[in-house]
Amino acid sequence: MTSYPPLPQSFYQQPTLELAQSLLGCLLVHETSEGITSGYIVETEAYRGALDRAAHSFNNRRTKRTEIMFHTPGHIYTYTMHRQVLLNVVSADAEIPEAVLIRELEPKDGMPLMETRRPGRKPRELTNGPGKLCQAMGIIQSHYGGHFINPPLYITEGYNPEQVETGPRIGIPNAQEAKDFPWRFWVHGNRYVSR
DNA sequence: TGTGCGATGCTCT
DNA sequence: GAGCATCGCACAC
């Protein structure tokens, strides 16, 4: 099985909205004893702590859960929503609680392994949601606090998306004015992007 | 292929 | 004890 060179720390040192776009087309890789799974990132959302009513860290709220967002960029922020695990990339400098949510992947390596983790699903249903992709990739809550520049869970160079689209984020009806911020980014025309 | 809705557990107040 | 950055199923077309 192939390994890949992780993107360096410097990649994460860019403004959150730019990082959210730069991540599109990058390859998310998870190496486990069962094998490698990987997929291209095709949809992201930015969450910008202090200003953003939709963010857990709104108004710089600092709790056990949001603590990692106050760290340096490139850290792994996982949390559970209902029964799912969701995966975020911490962005912005230390003490600035911002992050990018990874919403959808296009599977690359290890699709058979993904299918064993999500039995009975069609190929495009393996990773077309933030909770689903964590299941398919074997990402669990205990990845919280890790770093994307090291295996087993890391991000490497992928392809350059031809066209990126932006729009309002999904599933945050109570965020008032923040729900209309065009902070969702996706690869135009990719068949793994659902909505 | 698309929409609607109920189950569900963890975190914070 | 309330509120969710969701998913899967049922049902219509």
Judge if the beta carbon of A65 is closer than 7 A to nucleic acid strand B.
Answer: yes
Say how far A2 CA is from B4 C1', in Å: 43
Between residue 46 and residue 105 of chain A, the positions with Cβ below 7 Å from nucleic chain C are 47, 54-57, 77, 81-82, 84, 86, 88, 99, 101
Amino acid A190: pLDDT: 87
Identity (one letter) of the amino acid at A89? V
Residue A58 near residue A50, CB atoms below 8 Å = yes
Neighbours of A48 (CB within 10 A): 24
DSSP 8-state assignment for residue A26: P
Say how far A81 CA is from B10 C1', in Å: 7
Taking the C1' atom of C4, which residue's CA lies nearest? A81
Beta strands in A25-72 (DSSP E): 27-32, 35-48
Q: Which nucleotides of B are covered by protein (CB under 7 A)?
A: 7-13
Instruction: Give the pairing type, strands A27-32 and A84-91.
Output: unpaired
Amino acid A195: pLDDT: 60
Say how far A193 CA is from B1 C1', in Å: 14
Judge if the beta carbon of A170 is closer than 7 A to nucleic acid strand B.
Answer: no
Burial track A88-121 (b if 16+ CB lie within 10 A, e otherwise): bbbbbeeebbbbbbbbbbbbebbeebbbebbeeb
Strand partners, A104: A43
User: What tens-digit pLDDT sequence spans chain A (195 residues)?
Assistant: 668 999 999 999 999 999 999 999 999 999 999 999 999 999 999 999 999 999 999 999 999 999 999 999 999 999 999 999 999 999 999 999 999 999 999 999 999 999 999 998 988 899 999 999 999 999 999 999 999 999 999 999 999 999 999 999 988 877 889 999 999 999 998 878 866
